Amino acid sequence: MVVVRSVTMADLPGLLALVKGAGIGLTTLPDNPALLESRIAASIASQAGTAERADEQWLFVMEDIENARIVGVCGVAGFVGLRDPWYSYRVGTVVHASRELGIFTRTPTLFLSNDHTGATELCSLLLDATYRVGRNGALLSKSRFLFLAEFRQRFARKVIAELRGVSDASGHSPFWESLGRHFFSMDFAEADYLTGIGKKSFVAELMPKHPLYSSFLSPEAQAVIGETHELTRPARRLLEQEGFRFEGHVDIFDAGPALECELDDIDAVKKSSRAVVAGIVDDDADASSAPSLVANTSIQDFRVGLGRLRLDGEAVHISTSLAAALRVNVGDAVRIVALSPADRSGADARAREASTATARAS
């Protein structure tokens, strides 16, 4: 059984081993022990409530309980860009038109922006390759939504997630080659590493400040603006199912998309609910029900697992192993939501369809 839980300092060796196998593109988790240690420390300070708001960040690890092994990691940054500026390119359009000359040219542009300053960021998602099976990926990524739902007053209204852009097997990003390289004579991997160790704003300060005409970039670079790396496409689909959308902001280095959603509009946040553990049973409480995310309500030792539940009003029965993984007993509060949006409360789904229909009609 796997559980997603708040990180502790004891996880450092396991975390380091995990990121060593990851390769380029995981900007926020560089292969750097000192930096990982400081990330863990910052997370612990946030759990304890001793971090300043601008520094709040939360790291969660996925543990294979039987093997006592760290197999995944994910994170949430409370408010980005309040210490160092947060940069992204906004994809825009400039029209050059002359009725007299019969000219109408639509030119895509890139504007350097700090638009996402103060947003909450989903970050640092990484799952060991051998564990990319079953529902592990969904559990790891979506566990954070229960955290956001449980502690929503700690987060911004807007939630973003930057997804890895397109690069080839050797780590060459066509966007970087066509743009960043001209302004900063280093490889994408190095820029990415500097970003990960907290120097992104330094790198950004070397990047072009004026709006760019995308048509001046190579065709290969133009083609990957807002495109997701092949390996990250499942993560993108997963976020999109929860309501996240690409609203035209891309990473300044690899042009990977930033997906956005209002916190209260995230489907898993909206549909999650509190329940009380009414009973602990040997097996899945109701093997016929859809798998659900279940989380405890502790900010210091937050834990999320998957189980099939029997929910009766606000009373829920969960399995012994899940209760152990979550460290909950009968009488404790939990937060639950069906793992798949399709399995979530029918009433809400109907409401959603109705509101979509209204939106279309208006």
Partner 1 sequence: MIATPNSMFVLRPAEMADLPQIETIAARSAIGITSLPPDQQRLIEKISSSRYAFSSEVDIPGEETYFFVLENTSTGEIIGTSGIAASAGFHDRFYSYRNEIIVHASQELRVSNKIHALHLCHDLTGFSLLTSFYIDPQFAESAMPQLLSRARLLYIAEHRRRFADKLAAENPGVCDAEGRSPFWDAVGRRFFNMEYPQAEQLSGGRSKTFIAELMPQYPIYVPLLPPAAQLAIGQLHPDGELPFSILIDEGFEPDIYIDIFDGGPTVEARVDTLRSIRQQRRLPARVYTSSQTEGAMKPNDGNATMLQALVSNTRADRFRATLATVRIAGDEAHIEADVAAAIDVADGEALRVVALEIAPGAD
> Looking at 207, 250, 294, 336, which residue binds partner 1 (CB under 8 A)?
207
Q: Which candidate, 37, 340, 29, places its Cα nearest to that of 197?
A: 29
Q: Is the dihedral of CA 338, 343, 347, 349 positive or negative?
A: positive
The residue count for binding partner 1 (CB under 8 A) is 32
Q: Is 99 in the site for partner 1 (CB under 8 A)?
A: no
Choose, by CB under 8 A, the member of 8, 32, 109, 289 that binds partner 1: 109
Nearer to partner 1, 182 or 274 (CB): 182
- Measured between alpha carbons, how far is 169 from 157 in angstroms, rounded to an integer? 37
Tell me, yes or no, if 96 is annotated catalytic: no
Stretch that binds partner 1, among 179-187, 290-298, 309-317, 340-348 (CB under 8 A): 179-187
| DSSP letters for 57-107 | EEEEEEEETTTTEEEEEEEEESSTTSSSPP-EEEEEEEEEEETTTTEEEEE
Distance from C-alpha of 360 to C-alpha of 348, rounded to nearest angstrom? 18
Q: Which burial class, exposed, middle or buried, applies to 60 when counting CB atoms under 10 A from its CB (0-12, 13-18, 19+)?
A: buried
For 255, left (φ over 0), alpha (ψ -120 to 50), or beta? left
186 backbone dihedrals φ, ψ, rounded to 5°: -150, 165
Q: Bridge partners of 279?
A: 317
From candidates 2, 76, 125, 194, binder to partner 1 by CB under 8 A: 194
Question: What is the closest distance, in whole angstroms, from the C-beta atom of residue 97 to partner 1 in the complex?
Answer: 8
Query: Which is the catalytic residue, given 96, 172, 210, 229?
Result: 229
The token duo for 191 is 């820029």
CB nearer partner 1, residue 209 or residue 233: 209
Measured from the CB atom, the residue of 94 and 315 that comes closer to partner 1 is 94
Closest C-alpha among 163, 162, 144 to residue 154:
144
Question: Residue 176 Cβ, how far from partner 1 at the closest point, in Å?
Answer: 13
Report the SS3 class of residue 157. coil
Give alpha helix (H) positions in 159-278. Answer: 174-175, 181-183, 188-194, 200-204, 219-223, 233-241, 267-271
**Interface with partner 1 (CB under 8 A), residue from 183, 312, 348, 354:** 183
Give the interface segment with partner 1, choosing from 22-30, 154-162, 199-207, 315-323 (CB under 8 A).
Answer: 199-207
Q: Is 84 or 286 the residue whose CB approaches partner 1 more closely?
A: 84
Q: Is 182 in the site for partner 1 (CB under 8 A)?
A: yes
CA distances for 355 relative to 4, 264, 322, 352, 362, angstroms: 33, 15, 36, 5, 10
| Chosen residue from 10, 34, 68, 101 binding partner 1 by CB under 8 A | 101
Find the binder of partner 1 among 13, 38, 54, 105 (CB under 8 A).
105
Q: Does 178 bind partner 1 (CB under 8 A)?
A: yes
Q: Does 113 bind partner 1 (CB under 8 A)?
A: no
Q: Which stretch binds partner 1 (CB under 8 A): 61-69, 174-182, 287-295, 351-359?
A: 174-182
91 binds partner 1 (CB under 8 A): no
Select the residue interacting with partner 1 from 64, 211, 265, 333 (CB under 8 A): 211
Catalytic residues: 229
Which residues of the shown chain bind partner 1 in the complex (CB under 8 A)?
A: 94, 96-98, 101-103, 105, 107, 109, 178-179, 182-185, 194, 199, 202-203, 205-213, 215-217
